[in-house]
Amino acid sequence: MAGAPTGNGRSQLLDDIEEFSRNGPVLTNEPVLPTFTRDKMSFPDLNVPASERSVRTPASAGNSAASPTLESPSSLGGPAADSLLARLKQKAQTVQQVAEQRGVAHDAIAQRLSASLGAVFHYLDDLIKQLNIIKPEIPKEFVFPGNIAFAGMRWVEGAADFRMVPTATEDRLYDSLTARLRIASPKKIVVERDAIGVEPLRKLLHDYNIAFQVEEKQNARKMIERASFTFPCEIKAGFIIRADYGAGNLLLRTRNIDRFGMMEFRLQPDDLNQETLDELTKLFLGETSNFLQMYRRTA
């Protein structure tokens, strides 16, 4: 067979095998390649002459004191007190504590606002039910711009309602409460205006939510010379109290209460006590009230 070793070659090969089995591999001057294992690599010592190098086994490589190793994170211990990481940790803890304290304080204020609105709603709901039965007279005379007097009125009807803050949790808060009322007299009010006063009166009646009828007198050129306005002696009034959870107070906005137009007040939860509610009731019943002296208008 071609390439088969000759007698001398076969004999040499057998001798080499015998030598390898007894003494291991024969050292040469060829560079030794690194030995790779599953967990680490072993490299030959380049300071040792090539003729004196030997292959280091994975076990000897792992036990060598010269082999550099990295400490695991758990062996580093905690950060030093004056380190950047320690300072950042302390600052983060402070920020978190402040946020938690603010959250607790905000929740407490929110509960006070909601509880105050709830108590006022139950008071007004009961009050208005009694007024719907009694239908008291309204002693106050309301003067409309242009010296138009609304007088001799009495309570007709009223209602109270509330809204809750939309939320998915069971801990619901009051958002606002509303009181609506209507006072009136059976008489009609008739007012005449010349051409220049027609549009201003029309606008005022619209703004104050007063239903009216108007008869216009025109000249030959189809221009308005005069107009006659007829409307009931009736006032639709009311107010809303809304919790401003961001500001931590209450907003009271009235419409046609004590006078025509709007008024606004800022109140604290503790302001809505029995005295305040009594004075507010007197105000929308047209009686002498100290409410406007107790609380300053904001608008």
Question: How is 111-136 classified by DSSP, letter by letter?
Answer: HHHHHHHHHHHHHHHHHHHHHHHH--
| Residue 202 within any structural domain of the chain | yes
What separation, in Å, do the N-terminal and C-terminal C-alpha atoms of the chain show?
A: 117
> Quick check: 41 and 57 in contact, CB under 8 A?
no
Task: Please report the sign of the dihedral spanned by the C-alpha atoms of residue 151, residue 204, residue 267, residue 159.
Answer: positive
SS3 assignment, position 70: coil
Q: What is the pLDDT of residues 113-161, one digit of tens each?
A: 999 999 999 999 999 999 999 999 999 999 988 889 999 999 999 999 9
Give the number of C-alpha atoms closer than 13 A to the C-alpha of residue 257, restricted to the C-beta side.
24
| Residue 36 within any structural domain of the chain | no
| Residue 252 within any structural domain of the chain | yes
| Residue 127 within any structural domain of the chain | yes
**Greater pLDDT, 132 or 167:** 132
| Residue 83 within any structural domain of the chain | no
Range of the domain at 179: 102-294
| Residue 5 within any structural domain of the chain | no
- Average pLDDT in the 46-71 region? 49
Q: Alpha carbon of 87 to those of 45, 74, 80: distances in Å?
A: 44, 20, 9
> Quick check: 167 and 173 in contact, CB under 8 A?
yes
> Quick check: 252 and 264 in contact, CB under 8 A?
yes
| Range with top average pLDDT, 23-37, 97-111, 222-236 | 222-236
What is the total residue count of the chain? 299
Domain count, the chain: 1
Q: What tokens appear for 160 in the block? A: 């109270």
Q: Is the pLDDT of residue 180 over 90?
A: yes
Banded model confidence at residue 162, pLDDT cuts 50, 70, 90? very high
Q: What is the pTM of this model?
A: 0.64
Rounded Cα distance between 207 and 200, Å, is 11
**Greater pLDDT, 80 or 296:** 296
Rounded Cα distance between 151 and 146, Å, is 15
| Residue 60 within any structural domain of the chain | no
Match 């719907």 to its residue by tokens.
132
| Residue 63 within any structural domain of the chain | no
